[in-house]
């Protein structure tokens, strides 16, 4: 029963992430989206970009995202609660680190990001292709 509930939560979370990516405003330039998302939403906290010094402990960190290509929209949510940890454009060279898990991650351009889950680099998508990752909780 618990497995079915977890699966249902994952499906609902995945659908919500896809809808969030599809509802992106099509009219404005990417810079406008960055400005709007940078302002933040009350109650939504975005982790500060991390330095390479903090990345050394990435094997203990559930999720590290680095933008190595063009700026791309990234959505990170906690599927159990629906809490949105990141929703917006990350610029080239930006890195985000998340210490919570489980997490659902969607990148509009999966070829533009490097994703490390518990220190293990994940396969990248072809440039321009949407990519999803799931970060399980460690028990």
- pLDDT tens digit string along 41-72? 334 344 444 444 344 455 789 999 999 999 99
For residue 97, what is the enclosing H or E element?
A: strand 95-98
Average pLDDT over all residues of the chain: 74
Q: Name the β-bridge partners of 83.
A: 78
Tokens of 94: 């930006």
DSSP string, 33-61: HHHHHHT--TT---PPP--HHHHTTTTTS
Q: In the chain, what percentage of residues exceed pLDDT 90? A: 55
Residues β-bridged to residue 75: 87, 106
Asked whether the beta carbons of 72 and 89 are under 8 A apart, the reply is yes
Q: Where are the domains of the chain?
A: 2-135
Q: pTM for this one? A: 0.61
Could you report the per-residue pLDDT of 68-102, keeping only the tens digit for each? 999 999 999 999 999 999 999 999 999 999 999 99
Q: Order of strands across the sheet with 63-67?
A: 95-98, 63-67, 113-117, 120-121
- What's the pLDDT at 21? 46
C-alpha separations of 61 from 27, 37, 38, 73 in Å = 36, 25, 24, 22
Mean pLDDT within 20-39 = 37
> Quick one: what percent of the chain has pLDDT higher than 70?
58
């Amino acid at each position: 029963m618990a497995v079915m509930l977890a699966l249902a939560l994952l499906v609902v979370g995945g659908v919500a992430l896809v809808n969030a990516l599809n509802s992106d405003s099509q009219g404005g330039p990417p810079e406008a989206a960055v400005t709007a998302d940078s302002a933040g939403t009350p109650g939504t906290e975005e982790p500060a970009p991390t330095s390479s010094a903090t990345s050394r402990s990435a094997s203990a960190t559930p999720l590290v995202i680095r933008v190595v290509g063009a700026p791309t929209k990234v959505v990170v949510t906690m599927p159990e609660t629906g809490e949105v940890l990141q929703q917006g454009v990350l610029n080239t060279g930006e890195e985000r680190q998340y210490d919570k898990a489980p997490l659902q991650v969607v990148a509009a351009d999966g070829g533009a990001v490097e994703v490390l889950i518990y220190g293990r680099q994940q396969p990248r998508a072809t440039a321009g292709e949407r990519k999803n990752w799931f970060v399980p909780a460690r028990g």
